[in-house]
Amino acid sequence: MKQRILVVSHGHPDFSLGGAEIAAYNLFEAFKKNENVEDTWFLARADRGRGITGQIHKRRDNEYLWEQGVADWHLMKSAHQESVTTWFVDLLKSLKPTVVHIHHYAHIGLEFIRAIKKYDSSIKVYLTLHEYMAICKHNGQMVKTGKEMKLCSSESYDECRGCFPENTAEDFWLRKHHFKSAFDLADGFISPSEFLRQRYLNWGIKQDDIVVIENGQSDLPPIAPRPIAENETRNRFGYFGQVNPYKGIDILLEALRSMTKEERKLVLVEIHGSNLETQSGDFQIKIKKLAKKLIAEGCLRWVGPYRPDEQRTRLKEIDWVIVPSIWWENSPMVIQEAFTAGRPLIVSNIGGMAEKVQDGVDGLHFSARNPLELANKLKYAVSNITLWNDLHQNIASPLSYTECAEEHMAFFETR
């Protein structure tokens, strides 16, 4: 029997360009072309400033926006409860999906999972886990609150109270029970990395219920290496993504600042990122202060935000991609995007970054949160004239959109 698949995301790439939203939409497009799919739809939480009305609007053919939100982030409760059992269920009645594939419940809540099964228990529900939100109340980052932002390795009701003293240990027990009761309704889980899968196994998901499927990528050929003169080095580094305290932009800028002026003359770092203006005032001041002198020297260019269709053009002028995140990162889209373009990476040696990039094979690792070691890696990358070619030749093509859809369909068939 051919499947009828409804893909649900916490945002639409038309309005929000996060990795999870883009991964969800790309998979929706790939399902359209799969011979075992009769029909497929995309439902995303609306982010257009119209408020939380609960209404579901058609965006374009087979695409819908839900004006939903979250009223209680501790228990992930929907802001517009009535629409979960009315307009959302009406959509299910109209579309008649056999599968609902959820890519995120943030900004939507958990109640709609129960609403699916209550309406029709034969509908299969699958959940792709993009971060650790069920495990960690702190935005699913598993990073402690406070200036030091220390990493967490596992849940602990007492330690969670250290981050959120307004909550009791019993509150966190209730939170886990609430999440777990919703997750127990799912027929299976997908993790884009083994690292994240292990975290959720420790949390309580059964081993046979969760599989690793990497996010799909374009099957376009790699971009040709940047043309360089005979005496020129592979000295252009690029950061691509959000600019926030978890992404390690400050670590990268401090790495540049730790170099001598003569060493900085040998490198050029480009920041292709957005949302600095939405961060805290202290963080903005810190980043702007670090960047100002480096930009004046000419070793740093602040290029700014980009749309997904612009990324390959920007990567043409880059030799290396840097991912200096200070949190565990599940499976940063930029890693697979860099590999698709044929660009080696320099990444923090933790979480999904360490898993996806092989140190000394298709990229380099540095100790997370250590600007001095990152600086040494930048200098090493520039000074070793054969390194870039060696790493470039070892880059394997990531999973394509089509292959990603096929692996999901195969998993659906086993449940």
pLDDT one digit per residue (tens) for the chain, 415 residues:
899 999 999 999 998 878 889 999 999 999 999 999 999 999 999 976 678 999 999 999 999 999 999 999 999 999 999 999 999 999 999 999 999 999 999 999 999 999 999 999 999 999 999 999 999 999 999 999 988 899 998 888 988 999 999 999 999 999 999 999 999 999 999 999 999 999 999 999 999 999 999 999 999 999 999 999 888 899 999 999 989 999 999 999 999 999 999 999 999 999 998 888 888 899 999 999 999 999 999 999 999 988 888 999 999 999 999 999 999 999 999 999 999 999 999 999 999 999 999 999 999 999 999 999 999 999 999 999 899 999 999 999 999 999 999 999 999 999 8
Nearest-angstrom CA–CA distance, 93 and 155:
39
Q: Apex CA 413: angle with CA 410 and CA 414, to 5°? A: 95
Burial 308-319 (b: 16+ CB within 10 A, else e): eeebeeebeebb
Which one, of 346, 336, 348, 356, lies nearest residue 381 by Cα?
346
Q: State the DSSP string of 250-311.
A: HHHHHHHHHS-HHHHTT-EEEEEEE-GGGS-HHHHHHHHHHHHHHHHHTSEEE-----GGGH
User: How confident is the model at residue 68, as a pLDDT?
Assistant: 96
- Tell me the two tokens of residue 390: 């060696």
pLDDT value for 364: 98
- Please state, in angstroms and rounded to a whole number, the distance separating the CA atoms of residues 116 and 102: 11
Q: CB count, 10 Å around CB of 344?
A: 25
Full strand arrangement of the beta sheet holding 268-274: 300-302, 268-274, 236-242, 320-323, 345-348, 363-366
Give kind and range of the element (H or E) at residue 218.
Answer: none
pLDDT at 349: 98
What are phi and psi for residue 128, nearest 5 degrees? Answer: -90, 125
- Of the candidate CATH numbers 3.40.367.20, 3.40.50.2000, 3.20.20.60, 3.60.21.10, the domain formed by 3-216+400-414 belongs to 3.40.50.2000
Q: Which two tokens stand for residue 286?
A: 């810190």
Contact (Cβ atoms closer than 8 angstroms) between residue 234 and residue 386? no
- Cβ–Cβ under 8 Å, residues 362 and 391: yes
> Which residues is 7 bridged to in the sheet?
42, 101
pLDDT of residue 308: 82
Interatomic CA distance for residues 374 and 133, integer angstroms: 29
Do 5 and 31 meet the contact criterion of CB atoms below 8 Å apart? yes
CA angle 206/211/215 to nearest 5° reads: 145
Q: Are strands 124-128 and 188-191 parallel, antiparallel or unpaired?
A: parallel
- Domain 236-393 in the same topology as domain 3-216+400-414: yes
Q: Which CATH topology does 236-393 take?
A: Rossmann fold (3.40.50)
Q: Tell me the three state secondary structure of residue 99.
A: strand
Amino acid at 395: I
The residues with which 170 forms a beta bridge, in sequence order, are: none
Alpha-carbon torsion (143, 146, 149, 153), positive or negative: negative
Query: What is the per-residue pLDDT across 199-229, written as a single tens digit (0 to 9) for each?
Result: 999 999 999 999 999 999 999 999 999 999 8
Distant-in-sequence, close-in-space partners of 119: CB < 8 Å, separation ≥ 6: 89, 92, 93
- Write phi, then psi, for 135 (nearest 5 degrees): -90, -35
Burial of 213 (0-12, 13-18, 19+ CB in 10 A): buried
**Helix ranges restricted to H, 86-186:** 87-95, 111-119, 157-163, 169-183
Residue 371 confidence (pLDDT): 98
Question: CA 323, CA 313: separation in Å to the nearest integer?
Answer: 19
pLDDT of residue 306: 87
Q: For position 75, what pLDDT does the model report?
A: 96
Task: Cite the beta strand spans of 119-204 per DSSP E.
Answer: 124-128, 188-191
Q: What is the pLDDT of residue 155?
A: 86
Reduce the DSSP state of residue 368 to 3 states and report it.
Answer: coil
pLDDT of 194 reads 97
Q: Where are the domains of the chain?
A: 3-216+400-414, 236-393
Name the burial class of residue 47, with classes exposed (0-12), middle (13-18) and buried (19+) by CB atoms within 10 angstroms of its CB.
middle
